[in-house]
Structures are given as structure tokens and as C-alpha cells.
Structure 1
Amino acid sequence: MPDSTHTHPDVLSLRKELLLKKQELSALLEITQAINQDTAEETLYKIFQFTLLGQLNIRRIVLYIKEERRWQCVISFGHQLADFRKLELPDEIIDTCVAGPCPTASLPLDKEWHKLETIIPVGQQDAVRAYVLIGSVQDDYANEEGSKFLETLSNILIGAIENRRLNRQRISAAAMRKEIEIAQEVQNLLFPSKLPNDTQVAVHASYVPHTAIGGDYYDVVTIDQDRFLFCVADVSGKGVPASLLMSNFQAGLRTLLRQNVELATIVHELNHLLFRNSGGEKFITVFFGIYNRATRHLQYVNAGHNDPILVPDSGPVQYLKDGTVMLGIMEKLPMLTVGETTIPPHSLLLCYTDGLTEVFDEAGTEYGEEGLLSLMARNRYLPLPALHKEMLKEIEDFSVTKNQFADDVTILSCRFK
């Protein structure tokens, strides 16, 4: 008769295998349930760590994943183990361990890596996306089949995290597109729909944004039958924040104009508004001009902006420099001068932002103010739309980047008749 007190070795082996499969199934269920519950990434890493520890009895676990081309340690757990979050993944692992599990002993690694026995590369889309490093592993997980299961489990985890990241990026990109659309609409509403063109003066403006939402602004506002205000501005920064600051600036400007206050008061109040809204972190350079058709008198303030160029019919050009510092960098302006001049008949005034002159050729030479003056001397009697077109064409031909300008380009010119 067979001895019933002794279990046959084959039965023991089968039981052991069944127990292992049960542990693996539990580990798999634990990970997939966590993924299906839309668990946060940090929590997923914790569940992965405790699943390997609790279900598979793996005592030392390190996980590196590739995020934006950089290897980052997201799990570092085990007795007497170094904090691998502070350690770079060695090139020896990245260059050597790509096709399957590698014993750490086979690689020339520093001593802190010796407590880990096996490196398992996890592939996603024909590239290694993660490395699972394990140590103090029970015998059942020291074989090829155990490593294969760990690779499968890690693949499920890394795949889920990658899908979440891509989904976040898609949501973020869609939100950004919507934000840009709204900001573009806001910016388009800021620009005047109609510019003066009568028997005394003609005004024309051109705007070429560097990005989808530029940081330049121009405006022309009628004050009364004879007077109108015009301005050209450049806000620090680009995108949605710049657009919002510009809309704030315009709202403040138009409110002040309706109150019929002096130009100096307008500038002081706008500076205070900008400083209050941005805390000195953003600023605006701006040129304000108020022209009186009846008296040909121009009152202006240049707040840290490029000097507008007044070209008379004959005689030297005049630069409109008087004013103050850029707006928004300090609560109170340290000084303010309101410039005044009388405009001779047939004069041309050019206001612009620095994107028009800060253009460089292949040799690194700047187009600059000299290039602009030369062009105006040759073309100053052209109709304003044709003059602007010529300016944009010339800087495009001059620039090493052609029509990919490094900054927004804004031109506002006035021809006084």
C-alpha cells in the first residue's frame, strides 16, 4: 500500500505551481482594478509596489520610467536599499539591457546596485519605456517564466500610465487651443475697426504677430471733433497673459478718455492699473499721441517705447522722446514729461514696435533704425498701405529667418496733410 502520509513530489510541484498562478492572478487583478478605478499615478505606483511585495513576496523593488526623454525613479523600496530616486539610471543598463532580463552581476555597476539581482526592461512601441529592478526574490521568481510575468505586469502598469499621460496632453492641448481662440478673438476686438482718413490726416496700421497671440497693441480713439488719441504698445511676454493685460490696458485707456482727463493723468492712472494687476512682474512700453486737427498741435508721452520718427517735408527728422519709463514696473512713475510739437504740413509720423528694427541678416547685422530711415527716405511719399507693405517686404528680404520674425511687428503711421 502507498504511504498516505507522504505527498508525491509531482503533487507538491503542482500545488506550488497552482499557488504561484493564484498569486499571479491576484497581482494581475489588483493592478487592473486600480487602473479601471482611474487611480492617480502615484497611487498606481504604490499598488504596484505592494502587489510585488505582498502577492509575489519580492522584497526589493526599484522602478525607473522614461518621462520626456529623461529616466526617473518612481519606486525605490527595500531593506538596506539606497534611495534610487536620487540616482541616475546608469548608461550600462540603458545600453546593454534592452531585449530581456539581465542579471545585475553581469554589468559593471556601483555597489548600491548589487542588492538588486535582476533588471527587467519593459518595452512599449519598440522602445524601452521602463526598467523594473528586483532583489531578494523567492526562487519561483528567479526563473525566466517569473521574469516574463513581471514584465507583463509592468507593461500593463506603464501602458496605463502612458495612456493617461497622452489623454492629459490631449485635454490640455484642446483647452489651450480653446484658450488661444478666445484670446485671439479678444485681441482682434482690441484693434480699431476704422482709422482716420480725411482732409487733414490719414492713419494706417499693420500688425504681424510672431505667435498665434501677439504682445503688441495699437489703438486710435476719437476724443472730439478735432482731436484723436493714437497709441502703439508692446507688452512683456506673449500669449494669453499678454492678451489679457492688453485688454485691461485698453479698457482703462478708454474709460479715462471718456472722463476727458489730461494726457499726464491718463499715463499715471494706466501705470497704477498695470502695476496693481501684475505686481510689477509685467510691463508695457507705449507711445501716446493726441493730435488736434484744427491747431496741428501734437501732445505726446513716450513711455519707454521706440522713438517715433517724424519726417517733415523738408529739414531733419525729429524723434519723439519725451515721456517717462515703461508702465507697470513701479507703483509711481519717477518722472513724466508731456512732449509738445507742431506738425508741419505734409509730414509723416512713423510709430512702430521693436520687431520692425530688431531683424538680423546672416552676418548678424541688425536692420535697425538706419535701415528704416533709409527706406523712408526712398519711399516716404508712397500711400501708407504701400509704404507698410514695402517695410515688411524689406525686413523679410533682410532677415536670415525670412518671414519668421523673432517678434511681433506693429506699424502705425500718420500722414498729416
Structure 2
Amino acid sequence: MSKYISPEKRLFLKERELGALLEITQAITLDSPEAALYKIFQFTLLGQLNIRRMVLYVKEEGQWQCVVSFGGGMVDFYRLPLPEHILEHSPTQPVPVADLGLGDEWHQLELLIPVQHRGETLAYVLIGNVHDDYVPEEATKFLETLSNILIGAVENRRLGRQRVAAAAMRKEIEIAQEVQTMLFPRSLPNDADVAVHASYVPHTAIGGDYYDVVPIDKNRFLFCVADVSGKGVPASLLMSNFQAGLRTLLRQQADLATIVAELNNLIYRNAVSEKFITAFFGIYDRATRELEYVNAGHNSPILLCDDHHHELLADGTTMLGIFEELPFLKVQKTNVPSRSLLLTYTDGLTEVFDQEVEEFGEEGVLNFLRQSRYVPLPTLHRELLQEIEGFNSEGSHFADDITILTCRFK
């Protein structure tokens, strides 16, 4: 039988509900911190609706935690996890606590109210001793409304923070991409003595590969291919320091040994999270056809001669940034015969695997070069990338950045 409430009492209760709504909405409008919103919710239920016991569990970052607990004689719900029984059954409608079969510590609470936002349960409100003057159905409905307003506001704030953070991350990525694009040379040598072509295929929005070609004088130019451990903004920033250091040393007319040693010192001082760089440095002299180089822990470039003899340029030093001073450093020189082809690359090119988990590897690159070495360099790069894409068990999805820099010596 329905409980009778006089019009005067009903008006009084509606005034209390309105007061509760005003308190909550004002707190939301004033952009109060979430902890303050929970406190206001607690005091509103206590002061306006005379609810003496209440526990609020909220799902934050995928974890359930108690954010409000008040009422005399109750256990410390802040230390008590939300019961597995509730999580397993995930009620979507108010349920009497007595029907849930929970432990003794829950018996002072009478009603469980799930709070949903966009079809997902984000909170559970558990209350005890609702105001005696209320019709239970009316009290439950209003508490649902009030709880939904509160949790909806908290969730919208969380989503707002996520949007702001995502926008900041996108901007950060855009800036890093711009920085990375600026690192690459705008033009490459293509004259009577040598032609150079480069390709770069990033694995993620911000890769960790780098290449450069820098004129030194009318006969000599330096070329470099490098790979930073890791990806993202930190790798991009470290690579920009690397390029700035390289260019500065070249302007100071430093020799190759000094360039490599100073870059190692720069990376050692500036790298974070145990980052390091592998790199290959080459200086080619058009007049003497001499190539001076240092391989700093990088994949060995392949120098393929016209008679199909090949040389792997492996000598040099260890990767940069690991030791304060390089434990050894050898600057190697080699003469480059006419009609030779030099292919320098990062490990994303060779560390590609087929369905049998066989690696494309250095041998795969060498076999391809022997068949296609005389085609124009842009075509050679395109066909080489197609070759590893066809070999790759994951098709066009590569596990790492791919950088190719090729020199054709005429």
C-alpha cells in the first residue's frame, strides 16, 4: 500500500530536493575540484535529504575505489574493495543491498544505485536510512538523478582532460614531425661524379632515424645515416641535438675522428633513459675517389663494385652515447672504383621476417642489389621497399623505421 504524504510535506521535500540540486549544480558550475564535488555531494545528502549513511564507489582509470564514505558505526569503506558479486552481476537498476548477499559490513546500507554514463556503469551509490517521510520510489528516483548529475560532471571533466591532453600530444607530435622534417637535407648531390638518393619510411608518427648529406668543399661531402634507440619526441629531440652538433663540427673543419668523438660526448651528456645512437659517417672526395668512414655500431653499408665484388664497411667504433669516452676509434679509408654503388641503411630494412620467421637480412639486400644495381636510384629504392614488403609476413606494416641512403659513384 502506497504511503500517504500530505501536500505540505510533499512541498517541503520538493524544496529540499531543489536545494540539493542547486548545491550540486552550483558546485559544478563553479568548476570545483572533483574531491570538492564529492564532499558537496556528501553534505547535500546529509543536510538536505537527511541521509545518514552513504558510500560512493567510482570507476577511475579502470579501477574501482571508494571516494565517499560516511555514517555512524560503519567500517572504513575506503579500505574495502567493491565486492566481486557486484562487479560480476553489474546491476543496471537500483537493488536492495539485502538481495546482494554481501558480508556483515554492508548490512547498514539499504540500497545500491548504479550510475551510468553513455551505457557504462561509472559509479555505485549505496545508501542507508532514507528520510522516513519519503515514498521509497521517489527517494530512489531523485537519488539516481542527483548521482547521475554528479558522476556525469566528473566524467565530462575527465574526458575534457583527456581531450586537452590528446590535443597537447598531437601538437607535440606535429612540432616533433616538423623538427624531424627540418633535419633532413633539402637537396642531395647529383652531378658528374656522384648521385645520392634517400628514402625514409617512419614506423610511427615520429621516427628515430636520421640521414644527412653536407657539402664540405667543392670536392668533398659528408653523408651520415643514424638510428636513435627508441622513438617519439625524446628520440626526435636527441637527433636534433645530434644534427646541430654534426653541422657545428663541420663548420669548424673538424676531422672525422674529432666529429665522432665529440658527438659521442654530446649524446652521452644529453641522452636520457639510456638512449644511444648508432651511425655511419662517410666523407667522399670526388677528386681522389677516396671514401673515409667510421661505422659507430651501425649496420654495415654495402659497397658493390662493377665486377660484383662487394665490401662491408664495418670498421669504426661502438655505438654513440654509451661511454663517456669511446673505448676505440678507427677511421678507415677505401678507394671507390668507377660505377660502384654504396647502400647505407638502418636496421628496419633488414629486420623483416617472413611466415617461417626467416629474416630478409643483409644477404637479402645484397642479392637484390646484384640484380637491380643499375636502375635509377629512385626506382631502386622503390623496388627494394616493394621487395621487403612482399617478403614481410605483415605486409606493409614494418616493425621499425626504414631509412635508405644510396650513393652511385660514376
Give the alignment's TM-score, normalised by structure 2: 0.91
SS at match of 1:355: coil
Instruction: Tell me the residue number matched to 2:255.
Output: 262
The one-letter amino acid paired with 2:320 is: L
Report the CA distance shift for 1:409/1:87 in structure 2 as closer, same or farther (over 3 A): farther
Q: Does the 8 Å contact 2:308/2:370 carry over to 1?
A: no
Q: Which of residues 210, 213, 219 is equivalent to 2:212?
A: 219
**How far does residue 374 in structure 1 lie from its aligned partner after superposition?**
1.7
Aligned mates of 2:166, 2:293 — CA distance in 1:
43
Contact kept, 8 Å, 2:347 with 2:402, in 1: the verdict is yes
Query: Does 1:199 pair with 2:192?
Result: yes
**What is aligned with 1:3?**
none
**Alpha-carbon distance in structure 1 between the residues aligned to 2:74 and 2:326:** 60
Alignment of 1:102-121 (within 5 A): 102-121=95-114
Q: Following superposition of structure 1 onto structure 2, how do residues 3-402 of structure 1 map, counting pairs within 5 Å?
A: 16-96=9-89, 98-135=91-128, 137-140=130-133, 143-279=136-272, 281-314=274-307, 316-402=309-395
Cα distance in 1 between the residues matched to 2:118 and 2:273: 48
Give 5+ residue unaligned stretches, structure 2.
none
| SS of corresponding position for 2:348 | helix
Task: Give distance in 1, aligned partners of 2:75 and 2:392.
Answer: 54
Q: Report the AA paired with residue 212 of structure 1.
A: A
RMSD of aligned C-alpha atoms? 2.4
Question: SS in structure 1 opposite 2:56?
Answer: strand
Per-residue CA distance 1:78-107 (angstroms, 9 max, x = gap): 445444445443342134353321122211
Structure 1: distance between partners of 2:323 and 2:52: 59
> Does the CA contact (< 8 Å) of 2:95 and 2:112 recur in 1?
yes
Taking the aligned partners of 2:372 and 2:22, their CA distance within structure 1 comes to: 77
The 1:130–1:296 alpha-carbon spacing in structure 2 relative to 1, beyond 3 Å, is same
Moved more, 72-81 or 277-286: 72-81
Q: Is the 8 A contact 2:5 2:133 kept in 1?
A: no
Instruction: Tell me if structure 2 keeps the 8 A contact 1:230–1:289.
Output: yes
One-letter amino acid of the counterpart of residue 288, structure 1: F
> For residue 55 of structure 1, what is the amino acid of its counterpart?
Q
Deviates more, 1:209-218 or 1:78-87: 78-87
Alignment partners' CA distance in 1, 2:77 and 2:352: 48
Q: Which runs of 5+ in 1 are unaligned?
A: 1-9
Could you tell me how far apart the structure 1 residues matched to 2:317 and 2:392 are? 32
How far the C-alpha of 1:382 sits from its partner, in A, is 1.8
Q: Secondary structure at the match of 1:119?
A: strand
By how many angstroms is 1:35 displaced? Answer: 0.3
Q: 1:104 to 1:275 in 2, by over 3 A?
A: same
SS in 2 for 1:321: coil
Write the distance in 2 (CA, Å) between the matches of 1:378 and 1:275: 41
Size of the aligned set, in residue pairs, is 408
In structure 1, distance between residues paired with 2:397 and 2:116: 40
